Chain A
Amino acid sequence: MSAPTASPTIHNRTKGSLRPARLRPSDLARLGGYGLRSRPLRAVLSALGIAIGIAAMTAVVGISASSRADLDQELAKLGTNMLTVSPGKTMFGKQATLPDESVAMIKWIGPVQSVTATGVLSDTYAYRNDRIPAAQSGGLSVLAAKLDLLKTVGGTLDHGAWLNAATDRYPAVVLGATAAERLGNVPAVYIGGRWWVVVGVLQKVLLAPELDSAVLMGWPAATTYLGFDGHPTTVYTRSVESQVEAVRAVLAPTANPSAPGAVQVSKPSDALAARRATNATFDALLLGLGAVALLVGGIGVANTMVISVLERRSEIGLRRSQGATKGQVRTQFVAESLLLSLLGGAFGALLGYLVTGMYATTQKWPTVVPLWVLAGGVGATVVIGAIAGLYPAIRAARLAPTEALAAT
């Protein structure tokens, strides 16, 4: 019987070297790449789901961030130091008015830099001509305006002129942007049985959107021709930036000491920010869709990897015969899955960036895609790729080398 008689010299010669060599990271990356390059179309299609998911999420966050950046720019230009004061309802539910002297009183508040007001002419309507029935008023309001209104609210003229000390006392009006659209390009409007010359048209006023649908006339003219009672209904103030909150606290009792509870004080820049933020639910919906796309994309990658392992059994057997350990086979397939997923993620991030850029450009916004979104996208794809590739990789590593080699 030929008993094992290996000489000790031989035994020792290879004994110490029976530790598998480590795969270098560069070789691992290359290994992952070969698998994908051998079936490029399949790689592209299976990465598409992840690309769409990442693109959707990037675009949602990017568009919202761009909108935010635009608002910030706008507010930086307009200022966030404007407060408006308006009468609320009385205890008996009637529309309250502000005392005539409220404008003068507010002026006394130290940090207040400017104060101006408008007064509603109730039951007074503006028409484009004298033949339109009185009931069809078109939802426009008729307001008496102080001369410094435009400056205080940060409004600009689209064309024509703002009221001045002369047109202030004559039947002349300036139209808000929406009012001008509704009335058309008319030289004069018909109010209270009289023609009023249109001397100017405003652009949209971001901080005082109620002026957009208004027909504005001088305080004295309103009193003279339309019997205006002179009660201000909205007071606009600008204060020292650092004192806005302090001013806000004292505005109501100053404007109407006898009934401060009936006075509403608001900060339009906050309202503006809140209005932009109301898109949050829509954003959440899109983000949810993006997450579903990512999930479906991950399943697509897992599916591709399972098929790939089945098809490449003889390759796996060959690698095992060449000395690949189970761990190295596993790592190879995880690397391939990671690469596939990263491919989709990178493409998706690019796509999301482009969509954001296009949308922001049409809105005249700056394009802003926060870095954390891109980093988060890459992170998400790495996690998805690892999870999707793990099961197929474990199956590949468990294949017995002889069985794998027998496959054709």
Chain B
Amino acid sequence: MNPLATVVTAPDTLVGHPVIELAGVTKTYPGGVTALRSVDLVVDYGELLAIVGPSGSGKSTMLNLVGTLDRPSQGTVRIDGHDVASLSDRQLSALRARRIGFVFQQFHLAPGRDALGNVADGLLYTGVGKRERERRAEAALVRVGLGDRLTHRPYQLSGGERQRVAIARAVAGDPPLLLADEPTGNLDSVSGAGVMKLLRELNEAGTTILVITHDREIADSLPRQVPMRDGQVI
């Protein structure tokens, strides 16, 4: 039985509605590089999909736009029903704090904080008190199978375990949308497979998950693939 089945972040009423809508999105960097060209993409609540393509094809650029960390040069980005262009920097921050979780290739864990502290700190900007943050952090670490590593510092953890901590941090606040940029990029194949299994379990529990990868095999293991090349969806 799936232990995550009780955690439902996307109520049934939302399934089938779009959580990500990109329409004619173009991103040109100040240097003149156009990393995305007129991209259209709709992702519904509850989906698990891979953005797959070679290095430099614009995957991370797309993730930054979907994650509201950057704004498009042209086109519309709607996340969770909000037109990003209409939101202030503060409102985007609030949107990220409550609706989006991020997992990065480099983990980005604080070396001086144990697993529990790293995960709990991820909730600092949600307005939840310290006790509650720690309670949720512990629950999230149990969810990713690290219930016995709460007080371990990052250097005491394997690469796969570190990425699990990072995933726990991303989902501790129960965001409906989880964005993972090459989550297995720094891991060996066994750890990588474990991380992908964990992401599938989280998706079954209701989280919409967008995984970026250059690895065709990993992409093919997911229900939906969006192939990219040269800044375009193909």
User: Which residues does chain B contribute within 8 Å of A131, judged by CB atoms?
Assistant: none
CB of A319 within 8 A of chain B? yes
For residue A274, CB closer than 8 A to chain B, the reply is: no
Task: List the count of A-B residue pairs having beta carbons below 8 Å apart.
Answer: 133
Within 8 A of B (CB), among A335-361: none
Residue contact B23 to A4, C-beta cutoff 8 Å: yes
Whether, in the assembled complex, A165 has its beta carbon less than 8 Å from a beta carbon of chain B, the answer is no
A19/B94 contact (C-beta < 8 A), A4-B83, A405-B69 known: yes
Among the listed B14, B21, B127, which residue makes an inter-chain contact with A4, where contact means beta carbons less than 8 Å apart? B21
Interface hub of A17, A21, A317 (most chain B Cβ within 10 A): A21
Interface: B99 (CB within 8 A): yes
**Given A18-B82, A20-B125, A402-B69, do A323 and B97 touch, yes or no (CB 8 Å)?**
yes
| Segment of B1-9, B105-113, B196-204 in the binding face | B105-113
CA distance A87 to B42 in the complex (A): 108
Which A residues between 23 and 54 are near B, CB-CB below 8 angstroms? 23-24, 26-27, 30-31, 34, 37-38
Task: Tell me whether A322 and B122 are in contact (CB under 8 A).
Answer: yes
Residue numbers in A under 8 Å from B90 (CB-CB): 19-20, 325-327
Instruction: State which of B73-81, B138-146, B187-195, B206-214 sits at the interface with chain A.
Output: B73-81
Q: Which among A5, A315, A401 is the interface contact of B110 at CB below 8 angstroms?
A: A315
Cα–Cα, bound, A159→B13 (Å): 105
Query: What is the 8 Å Cβ interface bit string for chain B, positions 100-142, against chain A (1 contact, 0 not)?
Result: 1010101010111100000000101111111000000000000
B91 lies within 8 A of chain A by Cβ: yes
With the chains together, A14 CA to B42 CA distance in Å? 19
Q: Given B81, B89, B110, which contacts A11 in the complex, CB threshold below 8 Å?
A: B81
Contact residue among B70, B111, B125 (Cβ-Cβ distance under 8 Å from A319):
B125
Neighbouring B residues of A136 by C-beta, 8 Å: none
CA distance A37 to B95 in the complex (A): 31
> Does B98 belong to the interface (CB within 8 Å)?
yes
A13 nearest in chain B by CB position = B81
Kindly state whether residue A15 has any CB partner on chain B within 8 Å: yes
Q: Is the CB of A4 within 8 A of B78?
A: yes
- Which residues of the partner chain B approach A11 to less than 8 Å between Cβ atoms? 81-82
**Cβ of B83: which chain A residues have Cβ within 8 Å of it?**
4
Chain B interface, >50% SS class: mixed
Complex Cα distance A14/B102, Å? 19
Question: A328 vs B99: C-alpha distance in the bound complex, in angstroms?
Answer: 19
- The answer to the question of A314 belonging to the interface, with a C-beta cut-off of 8 Å to chain B, is yes
Closest-CB distance, A321 to chain B (whole angstroms): 5
B112 touches A37 (CB 8 A): yes
CA distance A37 to B111 in the complex (A): 11
**Closest partner residue, chain B, to A408 (CB atom):** B106
- Structural contact, A320 and B69, CB atoms closer than 8 A: yes
A34 near B82 with CB under 8 A, answer: no
Chain A nearest Cβ from B130, distance in angstroms: 7
Contact residues, A48-104 vs B (CB, 8 A): none
Q: Which B residues are in CB contact (< 8 Å) with A4?
A: 21, 23, 76, 78, 83
- In the complex, whether B93 has a CB less than 8 A from a CB of chain A is yes
A289 interfacial by beta-carbon distance below 8 Å = no
> Per-position contact with B for A375-408: 1 when CB-CB < 8 Å, else 0?
0000000000000000000000000111001001
A275 part of interface (Cβ distance < 8 Å)? no
Given contacts A320-B69, A323-B96, contact A2 B89 (CB under 8 A): no
Most buried by A among B21, B40, B89, B108: B108
Chain B residues within an 8 Å CB radius of A31: 124
A6 interfacial contact with B, CB 8 Å: yes
Residues of A within 8 A of B159 (CB): none
A326 near B89: Cβ-Cβ < 8 Å: yes
Residues of A within 8 A of B76 (CB): 4
CA distance A3 to B18 in the complex (A): 11
Q: How far is the CB of B151 from chain A (nearest CB, A)?
A: 16
Nearest A-chain residue to B125, judged by Cβ? A323
B157 within 8 A of A: no
B111–A38 CB distance below 8 A: yes
Contact A322 B124 (CB under 8 A): yes
Do A21 and B126 touch across chains, with their CB atoms under 8 A apart? yes
6 sample A-B contacts, Cβ–Cβ < 8 Å, listed by A number: A2-B40, A20-B125, A27-B130, A31-B124, A321-B67, A323-B94
- Chain B residues with a Cβ under 8 A of chain A: 13-14, 17-18, 21, 23, 40, 42, 64, 67, 69-70, 76, 78, 80-83, 87, 89-91, 93-100, 102, 104, 106, 108, 110-113, 122, 124-130
List 4 extra interface pairs beyond A19-B94, A323-B126, CB under 8 A: A14-B99, A318-B108, A323-B96, A405-B69
